[in-house]
Amino acid sequence: MSHSSRRAFILLLSVSMLTAIPAFAGHSWGGYHWQKGSGPVVLQLGDNVSGVWDGHLAAAERDWDGSSVLDLSVGAGGTRPKNCRPTAGRIEVCNARYGANGWLGLAQIWLGGGHISQAVAKMNDSYVMNEPEKLHVMCQEVGHGFGLGHTSEDGSSQNTCMDYYQNKNGSDWTSTTTNAHDMQMLDSIYSHVDSGAKLLPPPPAMGYIDFVGRGQWGEEVFRSENGRGSTFFLDFGHGHGVLTEVYWAGDQNELNHDQDPDAPAPWMTPRN
């Protein structure tokens, strides 16, 4: 899809749904952000990852902490990796064998009144990823937790982990770190100071959903040009909702690892 037709598609989506579905143009998820005081946003990344992923988490934290509007640290995990439940005010990062569900990584942000209240980032060990791709996925899922979207969705590289370039092998480190544009985006998303407004408490119904499976993510509101990413939105009304960003597996090696090799790749099947 061309740039302009994609924009028209997004416009059509937002007009036809007439709800609080966010705009996906640009490089942020509709400007969603954590509440910000006069200093940087202080956020902890909950370490629910195993030793295989510890280095990737540390690298992602270092990279994103390069932003002047974020003050990040890695802290003890607050959940079990398998269900990866959110904790208010932080980003829980998890890895587990989530099954042959087609995705390598997943990020979710909980929204209330335009602000992010909590987030999770999950890496799926049911698929084989080379080391650079692991870093790519980790860095991207954590980046979504700050309210960032993708820089490109056609598979080309902007040399940022927020693109959908596919790392070819274990020595292809393209697109595994943040770039200057990511930092500029964060600066603009977090350029304002919130005037002490309290976050609205989430509706109780939000607490009754595990958000672990596709059926619990709400409606697929966007799919990337190369099919590697989908955005789902579950609307709870009154400005509350959960955004889920799915990073689908790319090549057949990844897909075949845990899965019937004859099954169609999830990213090749049509929507709905």
Residue given tokens 């595990």 in the structure block: 210
Our finding on whether 63 is near Zn ion (CB under 5 A) is: no
**Least gap, CB of 150 to Zn ion (angstroms):** 6
Q: How far is CA 63 from CA 109, 136, 139, 166, in A?
A: 20, 12, 8, 20
- Residues 6 or more apart whose Cβ sits within 8 Å of residue 116: 32, 33, 34, 109, 110, 145, 147
Binders in 190-229 for Zn ion, by CB under 5 A:
194
Closest CB to Zn ion among residues 140, 244: 140
**Least gap, CB of 31 to Zn ion (angstroms):** 9
Our finding on whether 245 is near Zn ion (CB under 5 A) is: yes
Q: Is 257 exposed, middle or buried (0-12, 13-18, 19+ CB in 10 A)?
A: middle
Contact region for Zn ion (CB under 5 A) — 7-15, 45-53, 122-130, 134-142?
134-142
**Least gap, CB of 101 to Zn ion (angstroms):** 16
Amino acid at 221: V
Amino acid at 212: V
Question: Which runs of consecutive H residues, i.e. helices, occur in 18-105?
Answer: 51-64
For Zn ion, the nearest residue by Cβ is 194
Binders in 155-194 for Zn ion, by CB under 5 A:
194
- Give the count of residues interacting with Zn ion (CB under 5 A): 4
CB 130 within 8 Å of CB 82: no
**Least gap, CB of 26 to Zn ion (angstroms):** 14
Closest CB to Zn ion among residues 191, 205: 191
Q: Which residues pair with 235 in a beta bridge?
A: 241
Closest CB to Zn ion among residues 48, 230: 230
CA distance 184 to 119: 22
**Least gap, CB of 227 to Zn ion (angstroms):** 13
- Which residues of the chain form contacts with Zn ion (CB under 5 A)? 140, 194, 245, 247
